[in-house]
Amino acid sequence: MIEKATTSSADNWQRRYDIDWLRTMAMGLLIIFHVVVSFQPWAHTILIIQNEHSLKELWIIISMINIWRIPILFMISGMGVRFAMERRDWKQLLKDRTVRILLPFLFGFFFICPISIYLGMKYYGKQAAYIPNAGHLWFLVNIFLYVLCLLPLLVYLKHHPDNIVLRLLSRMFRHPGALYSAALAIMVEVWLLDPNYFTYYIQTPHGFWLGMVCFAVGFIFISLQDVFWQAVEGVRRSALALAFLFYMVRLVVFKLQVVPNTMIAFESMCWMLAILGYGSLYLNKPSHSLNYFSKAVYPVYIIHLPVQFCISYFLLPQPLPVILKLIFLLAGTFSVSLLMYHYVIRRLKWIRPMFGMKLSYS
């Protein structure tokens, strides 16, 4: 019955470990992306420290990932908010998101991101200066604004689980393949805004509205509970096949150049459905690794770019093979950031809130 699928209960709202894993992996992927950018010929144009010799071949793989790495982060954020609302009223939710998202953003804006800009300017011989900026934390303020702007709708959906929209979607998603209709939401967004490039997410109208759409879709997916999880597990294979097919069309036919945004939007949703489907099947179980890394990934992400810039500043000018530089930069960025988290951030009670963490840790 539809009512059973949409009615809240303690049993239905138990923790989803797969969502924790996917959030951790998504943020880890962003770190890898930033490291790879250092080995692209255009890195200097966005003030990222660039290696003299490029690895353009890597962009073939990154182009496959690039169209869903940010959308899935917003989608998972919407899912997280729906889970959080089961334990909080709207005032508690706003307080929690302010502490967990807005406070780290403001701290990063004034004290973390300026380090990267300073090092980048110094490396390229520019007049180095302290410049507060959103940097790699730009999406945090987007997520906070989504919660703020959509709050009345989110509260309504929580308290009216039998509303006509969720009832209709529950009925639809019981049919094989109907879940692909979710792609229409982002296809309409790119059709209306018609961005020059689908992957121009940072501080653009397209990036803001695409993020809001994905955030809302994620919230609705979780609101459907078992109906969604059964549907997404059911389409995981076909979604992966379609995603790869559309990627090959972009690669072979369009040479990764000018591709219709609506086609990219559909491919993006296919990747996300495949990831969610396989994640639900294989990752929804607790582990000690998840317990550690799910707590570590947020502060590690916040500090990773200044760490990457510091290592790049000294490593990239060295006469080493480009592959070795890539390996050293990846390993160094992750290991140094993790060490800083493990031995400094999580142990200093006063600094933990600046990285979106609770005052105590286990």
> What pLDDT was estimated at residue 15?
80
Q: Is 242 helix (H, G, I), strand (E, B) or coil?
A: helix
Give the total number of structural domains in the chain.
1
Cα–Cα–Cα angle for 218, 20, 70, rounded to 5 degrees: 50
Whole-angstrom Cα distance, residue 332 to residue 312?
A: 10
Which is more confident, 105 or 14? 105
Domain hosting residue 192, numbered range: 2-355
- 306, part of any domain: yes
- 189, part of any domain: yes
pLDDT above 80: residue 330: yes
Whole-angstrom Cα distance, residue 172 to residue 170?
A: 6
> What pLDDT was estimated at residue 358?
86
Share of the chain above pLDDT 70, in %: 96
- 182, part of any domain: yes
Confidence grade of residue 305 (pLDDT, cut at 50, 70, 90): very high
- 362, part of any domain: no
> What pLDDT was estimated at residue 174?
94
Quick one: DSSP state of residue 139? H
Confidence grade of residue 3 (pLDDT, cut at 50, 70, 90): very low
- 361, part of any domain: no
Average pLDDT rounded to a whole number, residues 152-179? 95
Amino acid at 97: R
Q: Is 172 helix (H, G, I), strand (E, B) or coil?
A: helix
- pTM reported for the whole predicted model: 0.94
**Contact (CB, 8 A) for 172 and 200:** no
pLDDT above 50: residue 183: yes
> What pLDDT was estimated at residue 207?
97
What's the mean per-residue pLDDT of the chain?
A: 94
Quick one: DSSP state of residue 258? S
pLDDT tens, residue by residue, 53-104: 999 999 999 999 999 999 999 999 999 999 999 989 999 999 999 999 999 9
- 111, part of any domain: yes
- 66, part of any domain: yes
Which is more confident, 15 or 133? 133
- 346, part of any domain: yes
